[in-house]
Structure 1
Amino acid sequence: MDDRVRRHAEILVEQCAEVEQGDMVRVVAPPVAEDLVVAVYEKLGEVGARPTLSWRGSRATRAYDRAMDAEGYERADHTLAMLEETDAYIGINGSRNLAERSDVPGENVTANRRANEELQEALRDIRWVGTQYPAPGNAQKAGMSTAAYEDFVYRAVDRDWDEQRAFQSQMVDILRDASEVRIVSGDHTDLRMSVDGMVAKNDADDNNMPGGEAFTAPVPDTVEGEVLFDQPRMWRGEEILDARLTFEGGEVVEYSARQNEDALEEILETDDGAKRLGELGVGMNRGIDRFTYNMLFDEKMGDTIHLAVGNAYPDTVGEDRERNESAIHVDFITDMSEDSYIEVDGEIVQRNGTFRFEDGFEAEA
Structure 2
Amino acid sequence: MDPRVREHAAVLVDDCMDVAAEDDVIVIAPSVADDLVVALHERLGELGAHPLTLWNDSTALRAYFRAMDPADFRLPEHELAAMEAADVVIMIGGSENVAETSDVAPETMSARSRAREPVFNTRVEKRWVITQHPAPGNAQKAEMSTDAYADFVYDAVNKDWEAQREFQAQMVQLLEEGEEVRIVSGDTTDLTMSIAGMHGENDAGTANMPAGEAFTVPRPESVEGEVLFDKPLLRQGRELTDVSLTFEDGRVVDYDAAEHVDLLEATLDTDEGARSLGELGIGMNRDIDRFTYNMLFDEKMGDTVHLALGDAIDDCVPEGTTANESAIHVDMIVDMSEDSRIEIDGEVVQQNGTFVFEQ
TM bracket (short chain): over 0.9
3-state SS of the aligned residue for 1:165? helix
For 1:1-365, what aligned pairs fall within 5 Å after superposition?
Answer: 1-359=1-359
* Rounded Cα–Cα distance in structure 2 between residues aligned with 1:79 and 1:288: 34
| Change beyond 3 A, Cα 1:312–1:171 | same
Letter in 2 for 1:308: A
Q: Provide the C-alpha distance between the structure 1 equivalents of 2:235 and 2:82, rounded to a whole number of angstroms.
A: 29
Question: Is the Cα contact below 8 Å between 1:299 and 1:333 reproduced in 2?
Answer: yes
Give 1:98's aligned amino acid: V
Aligned 8 A contact 1:219 1:321 in 2: no
Q: Secondary structure at the match of 1:357?
A: helix
Measure the CA separation in 2 of the matches of 1:8 and 1:334: 29
* Residues 111 and 270 in structure 2, CA contact (< 8 A), matched pair in contact too: no
Q: What is the one-letter code of the residue matched to 1:343?
A: E
Inter-partner Cα distance in structure 1 for 2:60 and 2:337: 41
The answer on whether the counterparts of 2:276 and 2:309 sit within 8 Å (CA) in structure 1 is yes
Cα drift, residue 232 of structure 1: 0.6
Q: Is the 8 A contact 1:195 1:216 kept in 2?
A: yes
- Contact 2:106–2:262 (Cα < 8 Å) also in 1: no
Mapped partners of 2:139, 2:112: distance in 1: 28
Partner of 2:4, secondary structure, is: helix
In the alignment, the residues of structure 2 paired with residue 160 and residue 214 of structure 1 have an alpha-carbon distance, to the nearest angstrom, of 17
* Matched-pair contact (CA < 8 Å) for 1:204–1:211: yes
CA distance in 2, matches of 1:106, 1:227: 23
- Over the aligned positions, Cα root-mean-square deviation in angstroms equals 1.1
Contact 1:284 1:301 in 2 (8 A): yes
Pairwise CA distance, 1:43: 0.9
- Whole-Å separation in 2 of the counterparts to 1:99 and 1:351: 36
Residue 139 of structure 1: how far off its partner (Å): 0.4
Unaligned runs of 5+ in 2: none
Write the letter of the residue equivalent to 2:203. Answer: D
Structure-2 separation of matches of 1:356 and 1:86: 42
Tell me how far 1:314 sits from its aligned partner: 1.9
Gaps of 5+ in 1: 360-365
Aligned AA (2:324): N
Q: Is the 1:93–1:132 Cα contact (8 Å) retained in structure 2?
A: yes
* Matching residue's letter, 2:276: R
- Deviation (angstroms), 1:154: 0.5
Query: 2-side partners of 1:274 and 1:84: how far apart?
Result: 25
TM-score, structure 1 normalization: 0.96
- In terms of mean alpha carbon deviation, does 321-330 or 256-265 score higher? 256-265
Structure 2 match to 1:362: none
CA offsets per residue over residues 45-74 of structure 1, 9 Å max, x none? Answer: 111111111211011111111111111111
Tell me the secondary structure at the aligned position of residue 131 of structure 1: strand
Q: Which moved more, 1:119-128 or 1:265-274?
A: 265-274
CA contact (8 A) 1:224 1:249 kept: yes
Q: Distance in 2 between matches of 1:252 and 1:128?
A: 30
Letter in 1 for 2:10: E
Q: CA deviation at 1:262?
A: 2.3
State the AA in 1 paired with 2:95: S
- Output the amino acid matched with 2:241: L
Contact 2:283 / 2:301 at 8 angstroms: preserved in 1?
A: yes
* SS at structure 1 position matched to 2:358: coil
Partner Cα distance (1:94, 1:230) in 2: 24
- Give a deviation string over 1:307-356, Cα, whole Å, max 9, x none: 01111122222223221111211111001111111000111111111111
Deviation of the 1:155 alpha carbon:
0.6
Instruction: Calculate the TM-score normalised by the size of structure 2.
Output: 0.98
